[in-house]
Amino acid sequence: MAEEQLFKVTIDNITIEVPAGTSILEAARKIGGDVTPPAMCYYSKLKGTGGKCRTCLVEVSKGSEKDPRPMPKLVASCRTTVMDGMEVKNITSSKVVDARAGVVEFLLINHPLDCPICDQAGECHLQDLSYEHGDAGTRFEFEKRTFKKVDLGDKIQLHMTRCILCYRCVYLADQLTNKRVHGVLDRGDHAQIATYIKESLDNEFIGNVIDVCPVGALTDRTFRFKNRVWFLKPQNAHRDCPTCSGKATVWLRGDEVFRVTARKDEWGEVEDWICNECRFDKKLTSDWVIEGPREINRHSVISQNHYTKETKDPQEFLPEILGRKPRILLDIHDVSDVDKPGIDLSLIEGPAHSTDFDTNTNENYESK
């Protein structure tokens, strides 16, 4: 078998080797962290995606070892393959930082700033993007383009006003379902995601459009407005499903299942597509075998309060303060007369008195 050809590429001064044909974005994902450009339309699990949103622009400061000339314009890293000896600048390029702020501004021209009431808040890629790369103010003074909300069947709602026309849901329906019934209609300012004849999206894998939508344009009608995602505890769970792998993330509050989504990787992309039955109809903890907490790899508020890592005992600070190990540690209950765990303060009438703590006379005292 012929050996795989490897190309050396340097991104933000970090050099790695990747197989020929790898895109700059995928090469940057191998390095990870801030070196990786954001992506709003590219989706590695869906063929043909990318090239629509321009958020992944990078500067190629050296084309290749053979032809070291820089590329004249910023390029979309999701659609440009690496060359041997290529040098790329992402966050180390002021041109890129500036252009990305411009892209965010364009994406927000028609996108409503309704994060406080949007179900996607906390897990919206556009929210993160504008926080990390956008400007605080807006220069847009005109009326935004708006659409009425449409129910696409009884499980999915389309709020076209929030759509950034990334085409991910269209590619998904093309590649994952037997018959695509929605797409982008019209062009330019009139372009919109629609089913045209109000056909509902009812294929058994169509629920995955909710997971690939980077914004709150396609939402789960069984979950809308039920809870904020950061109040829920995501858990890896599985079930014996005849249609899909049955591996999902269930989002719990207490022992109530508020929603079910596919499991997503560190780039926010679905690991395993799940069927509509798992997503919309299995809302009892007894439907699932809970495996344990799911780590959500996003820096937004959604990953707060989730105890996914091993817990650590607090550091012992007493020896450090004393300069030596304590000779003896006493249990406060053994040495104090006023801190008896057997004395229930709620049973004491009026303010507590020293006699209340006399265990010989207090008739409510229970030795613990």
Give contact residues for ligand FES (rule: CB under 6 A): 39-42, 50-56, 76, 78
Residues 6-25 that bind ligand SF4 (CB under 6 A): none
Length of the chain: 368
Candidates 88, 71, 73, 87; CA nearest to 37 is 88
Contact partner at residue 165 from ligand SF4, ligand FES, none, CB < 5 to 8 Å by partner kind = ligand SF4
Measured CA to CA, the distance from residue 130 to residue 107 in angstroms comes to 9
Total residues at interface with ligand SF4 (CB under 6 A): 14
- Take residue 281 and report the two structure tokens written for it: 């109809």
Nearer to ligand FES, 36 or 236 (CB): 36
Residues 182-211 that bind ligand SF4 (CB under 6 A): 193
Measured CA to CA, the distance from residue 22 to residue 82 in angstroms comes to 6
Nearer to ligand FES, 71 or 150 (CB): 71
Contact partner at residue 210 from ligand SF4, ligand FES, none, CB < 5 to 8 Å by partner kind = none
Candidates 259, 283, 261; CA nearest to 272 is 261
Contact partner at residue 55 from ligand FES, ligand SF4, none, CB < 5 to 8 Å by partner kind = ligand FES
Least Cβ distance, residue 27 to ligand FES (angstroms): 14
Strand partners for 87: 10, 62
Is 168 an interacting residue with respect to ligand SF4 (CB under 6 A)?
yes
Least Cβ distance, residue 167 to ligand FES (angstroms): 10
Least Cβ distance, residue 67 to ligand SF4 (angstroms): 36
Least Cβ distance, residue 34 to ligand FES (angstroms): 16
Least Cβ distance, residue 302 to ligand SF4 (angstroms): 18
Residue 109 is inside which H or E element, if any?
helix 94-109
Report strand pairing: 156-158 vs 218-220: antiparallel
Least Cβ distance, residue 264 to ligand SF4 (angstroms): 15
| Token pair 């792998």: residue | 245
Is 152 an interacting residue with respect to ligand SF4 (CB under 6 A)?
no
Nearer to ligand FES, 78 or 169 (CB): 78
CA torsion angle for 180, 182, 183, 189 (degrees, to 10)? 180
For residue 343, what are the CA distances in angstroms to 331, 332, 336, 361?
17, 15, 13, 12
- Take residue 318 and report the two structure tokens written for it: 């007493």
Is 167 an interacting residue with respect to ligand SF4 (CB under 6 A)?
yes
Measured CA to CA, the distance from residue 168 to residue 175 in angstroms comes to 11
Order of strands across the sheet that contains 14-19: 14-19, 6-11, 86-89, 57-62, 75-76
Quick one: how many helices (H) and strands (E) in the chain?
8, 14
Residue from the set 9, 96, 124, 166 that interacts with ligand SF4 by CB under 6 A: 166
Contact partner at residue 234 from ligand FES, ligand SF4, none, CB < 5 to 8 Å by partner kind = none
Contact partner at residue 153 from ligand FES, ligand SF4, none, CB < 5 to 8 Å by partner kind = none
- Return phi, psi of residue 285, to 5°: -60, -30
Per DSSP (E only), the strands in 39-85 are 57-62, 75-76
Contact partner at residue 217 from ligand SF4, ligand FES, none, CB < 5 to 8 Å by partner kind = ligand SF4
Nearer to ligand SF4, 40 or 60 (CB): 40
Residue from the set 28, 83, 156, 169 that interacts with ligand SF4 by CB under 6 A: 169
Nearer to ligand FES, 80 or 219 (CB): 80
| Interface residue list for ligand SF4 (CB under 6 A) | 163-169, 193, 212-215, 217-218
